[in-house]
Structure 1
Amino acid sequence: MHAFIELCDLAAARVGGRAVAANDEFFASKENLLRPGRGVFIPGKFTSRGKWMDGWETRRRRTPGNDWCVVQLGMPGVVRGVDVDTNHFIGNFPERCSLEGLHRPGRPSVAALVGPRAEWTPLLPPSKLQGGSQNLFPIESDRPWTHVRLSIYPDGGVARLRVHGEVSVDVATLARSKRLVDLAAVQRGGLVLGASDMHFGAKDNLIMPGRAANMGDGWETRRRRGPGHDWLVLRLGALGLIQRIEIDTNHFKGNYPESASLEGCRTGMTSLEALAGEAAGWQEVLPRTRLGPHKRHFFGGEIRARGPFSHVRFKIFPDGGVSRLRIHGRVDSPE
C-alpha cells in the first residue's frame, strides 16, 4: 500500500472541496466524486436516465475524445498521490485516466478554469484503470495546487476521487500575526500520524472542521478488556505555543473516555514507532483529567507546559470515543 494514503484528502467535500465543472454527467453527478466513503450499490434502483450509481458517470461516447471533471481543492497543497476509485463500476469504468494540476487562488470562474488560457500542468499521464478497485497513483510534484482536472478515457464512471497531499500553510504570516489558531486542524496542516486503535472511528476525524455530525464522525476505539489505555500521535501544522485545549465528546454518551491527558514534544522524528515511545522527550501539557459525555471540555489554566511543540500525544483512559481535539495556540516564529 502506498504511504501517501495516510495523508489528508485535499479534495474532500468535508474540507471544502468542490467539483466545479464536468463536460458530461449524464448518468451520475460529479459531486459524488468527493463524498465520504467508497460509494454504495443499490440493486434495482433506477432513474429516468438509467441505473442509479453512486459516483460520477458519463454517457457512452460515440465520437472521438474523452471526458473530464475539474475539482477545486478544499485545501490548496502539494499532491503526493491520488486514489481513482471505481468501486461498483464493473462494466462501465473508464479504460484509463489522467490528472492535471492548476494553481489559481480564489474562486475563478468556470470559464477561466476550462478556457484555453488555463495553464494546466500534467501530474499523471494516461494510466490504466481496474474496475471495482481503488486505483492508487503516486504523484511526483512539489508545487502547490488549488485545482485538479481528472480526465477519463474514453468515458464511464468513477465512484470517488481522493487527492492525498500536504496542506500549504503560510507559517511566516501566521507567526507574524500572533493570533490564536487551531494548530491541530487539518486546514492548518495538522496530521494524525497514528493511533493505538480505531476500530469504530477513524483517527483523522479528530481534526476535521466543525463539530461531529454523529458518533461515527469521531475517533473511537474498541472496548479494552485488559490494562492500558489508547493514544494517538498528532503532528501539528506548525511549531506552536499552546494556549487552550478543547476535547469534544459530542455524541459519545455511553462510550466516552473516563479521562484524558495531553503531552507535547519538539522533534524532527518521523517514525511513528519512535514518536509513540519516550525517546521524543514528551512533556506533560494537560495532566490526566476527567471527561464527561456529549460535551465540549475547555482547558487553559490547567496547562503545565506550553512549548513550542511540533507534536502532541493524546491519551484516553481506558478507551472510548472523542469527536474533536482542538489545540489552540500561536505559531512560533520560524528560525
Structure 2
Amino acid sequence: MDFTRLVEPAGLVYGRAAQEAVKAGNALPLAGGPAAFTLVDLIEGYTRSGFMPVAAVPAGWQAELARVVAAPVGGMVPLGAQVMGILNLTPDSFSDGGVHAQAQHAVAAGLEQVRAGAGLLDLGAESTRPGAALVTPQQEWARLEEALCALRAQAPNTVLSIDTRNSFVMEQALNAGANVINDVSALMHDPQALPLLVQHTCGVMLMHMRGTPQTMEQHTHYTDIGYDVVRELGQCVQRAVAGGIDPARLMVDPGFGFAKTTEQNMQLLARLPLLANLGCRVVVGVSRKRMIGAVTGAQNPARRDPGTQAASLCGLALKGSILRVHDVGGMVQAVKVWQSVHNV
C-alpha cells in the first residue's frame, strides 16, 4: 500500500439522492457506506488537483479511487455502525476517573451500556490523558481482571475491547475472553505487542498519536493535518500487516485530542472521508474531550455529551464506523435519528 497519492472525497449526498447520483454517474459510493461523493481532490505529496467532479478523474487515478470506494471489512466487530461504550477503571481519567474503579460498579455500568444499545464495551485501566501518571502493566491488569471476567460471563454476546498499550495486559485479557485490543500507540509502545497479536484472531484498533501521553502536546506541527494523519496511520497499518496481522482484523482511529490542537481536531473531523484511503473501519473517539469543551464552552466534561453526539455523527458517512462514547443511550438515539433522516 502506497499512500503517497491520496484521494479526498467531498460533496457527500445520502439516501435516495446518493443512489440516483451513483446511477447517473455523478457520484461514487464512499467506502461502501450510506454516503456517495460527487467531488474528489487528488493529492500527490502535498500537491492538490483541486476538487473536480468524479466523472473527470483521469485514468491514472483509478486505483486510488477504487480504494476509497471499496467497503472495509469487519474488523471482528458486528456489521453496521456501532456505538462503543467507554468504561474507565482508573482513578484519574479526565471525565469519570474513579467512578468505575471498583469492579462491581464497572460491571453494572457496562451492563447498562449494553442495555442502552452498545455493540462494544471498551475497558481501560490506564489513563492516557495529557500528563497522566504511569502505571505498571501488572497494576493495569489488576484493575481490569475482575470486571472483564464478570462482563464476559454476564454479557456473552457483547464485543469486549481492552484499551491498553502493554502486551502483558493484552495477553491476559485475550485469555480471559476479550475480543478486541485498542492500542493508542498503534502497537508502537510495546515491541512484544505485534508478535503477540499475530498469534490471536482478535480485532485490533490502531490509533494515531505522536509521542506519548506525557509528550504528545509537543508534537502538534503538521504540514496538512488530514494528509499527515492518514499517511502516518497508513504506516501503522502497513507495519501491522507486514508483521502478520490480517488486514481484515484492523480498525483505525485518527486520535482526536492526541498531539492535536482544537483547531486541528475540528479540521480532521470535517475531513473524515480521507480515512477511507486506509481501507479499514474507522473509530471516532471525541467523547467529552477538550475540543468539545473549547467549542461549546462546557467546562465540565460530564456536560459535553450533546457536543459529543453532534461531532460523532460525522463518522456515519463511513461504513461500519464505531462511535466511542461515555453516554451510550444518547448516542444511540442520535444515530437512529440520523439514519432515519438519511433513510439509511
> What is the TM-score of this pair, normalised by structure 1?
0.24
Larger Rg: 1
Q: TM-score, normalised by structure 2?
A: 0.24
Higher strand share: 1
> Of Structure 1 and Structure 2, which has the larger fraction of its residues in helix?
2
